[in-house]
Amino acid sequence: MKFQAPKGVSEYVPPRSRAFEWTRDTLLRSIKHSGYQLVELPVFEDTELFTRGVGASTDVVSKEMYTFEDRGGRSITLRPEGTVGALRAVIEHGLDRGVLPAKVFYVGQFFRAERPQAGRYRQFYSVGIEAVGVDDPALDAEVISIAYAGFRALGLKQFHLDITSLGDGQSRAAHKVDLVAFIKTLDLDEATIVRAQLNPLRLFDDKREEVRAMMATAPILLDYLSESSRAHFLAVQSHLKALEIPFSINPRMVRGLDYYTGTTFEFVHDLLGAQSGIGGGGGYAGLMEEIGGQSLPGIGFGLGIDRALLAAEAENVVPTAEFASDLYLIPLGAAAKSTALIISESLRDSNISCEIAFGDRSLKGAMKAADKSRARYVIVLGESELASGEFELKHMASGSTSSVTLTSLVQTLQQALSVI
């Protein structure tokens, strides 16, 4: 029996896992620098949390959830997204009763039973933030700028930002009247009519060409914004301009989740083909209340780590050279191994990474392994080196060597590495 990973999951093993880690940690850096704090949450929740929170009209809920009954007969679902679980935790732990906005972030696996293809997985990785309890266009702009900073920190350039506003309750009610009337004039199949009854906005997101063509002349929400929603959206735009974050307004954007209100946005990468959404988010004024909390607004985003990595690879900006160890130690003989272990430990204490050639390989084999590891420096510890206490430190890229003693090694490496 030969086992394979389940169909459509993304998994990362060396050497690419290092690039995955770098992508995740780089995206997290801009989040942590903005005062968001970690919530470590379960990957499964009560099914009803998602049906209520994400919305029954969405593909995510109606077609893509991994739902099962646990041993106690409860209906459980693997989290298809992070927002409702994070808000469930905010409510359960009273984080919305402290300083507002409550600002949390999360990172991990999410599950959607989609048809797998490049950049679309059944288990994927995402990092997300949620800011709950304050309605302020400057907060919306900061949320967008944190995602933007994360993508820029990866070195990405070939992406764009689309924004729109889904307005407040008043805006959406006015739009809905005209949209429903418009949809009634269309020749649609039964399933689509049912979907439109649950949420008429969903029809903007239909993948079928004929439905897209019919919806091309449908009334759009942006034309129905209330005075306060319009002012809010204009303020978000002026903050983004002040931040010099380029954006386009895309009034036909429909996010795949039903809870959005107000500012909504998507980051799209230009080189990723069909699965080009590298991140997206927006506000959700009614969601806290919908899942049993106080009536508080919120806004957040989710960034796709798998897709951000694909984008970084497509733009050739993954700094693979930085992933290698600083030093590769090749001990020859038992005494040398013991010395290598001691050296390696003291280097690690000084924040210098070090690998040892284990096993009793020939010098030639060990040098090959050192080469493969792409370590920056190599030291061979032979009998004569042990006896004299002097080693040759070889810089692998240039092939140049210098003589160092055991006591000067840490300092020499620290100096050499800081000037690379």
Q: Which residues in this chain contact ligand HAM in the complex, by CB under 6 A?
A: 81-83, 112, 114, 120-121, 124, 126, 128, 130, 256-257, 277-282, 300-302, 304, 306-307
Nearest CB to ligand HAM, comparing residues 304 and 331: 304
Beta bridge partners of 280: 266, 302
Nearest CB to ligand HAM, comparing residues 101 and 279: 279
Please report how close the Cβ of residue 107 comes to ligand HAM at its closest, in angstroms.
12
Please report how close the Cβ of residue 214 comes to ligand HAM at its closest, in angstroms.
25
Nearest CB to ligand HAM, comparing residues 103 and 376: 103
Angle at 378 between CA 377 and CA 379, to 5 degrees: 130
List alpha helices for 350-419, DSSP H.
363-373, 383-388, 409-419
Contact (CB, 8 A) for 80 and 65 = yes
Nearest CB to ligand HAM, comparing residues 225 and 303: 303
Contact (CB, 8 A) for 83 and 284 = yes
What residue is closest to ligand HAM based on CB?
304
5 secondary structure, DSSP code: P
Please report how close the Cβ of residue 300 comes to ligand HAM at its closest, in angstroms.
3
Please report how close the Cβ of residue 302 comes to ligand HAM at its closest, in angstroms.
3
Please report how close the Cβ of residue 92 comes to ligand HAM at its closest, in angstroms.
18
Nearest CB to ligand HAM, comparing residues 77 and 325: 77
Residues 42, 58: Cα–Cα separation, whole Å = 22
For 209, phi and psi rounded to 5 degrees? -55, -45
Question: Edge-to-edge strand order for the sheet containing 159-165?
Answer: 37-38, 102-111, 123-132, 298-304, 277-283, 261-269, 159-165, 248-249
Largest CA distance in the chain: 92
Please report how close the Cβ of residue 5 comes to ligand HAM at its closest, in angstroms.
15
Nearest CB to ligand HAM, comparing residues 65 and 257: 257
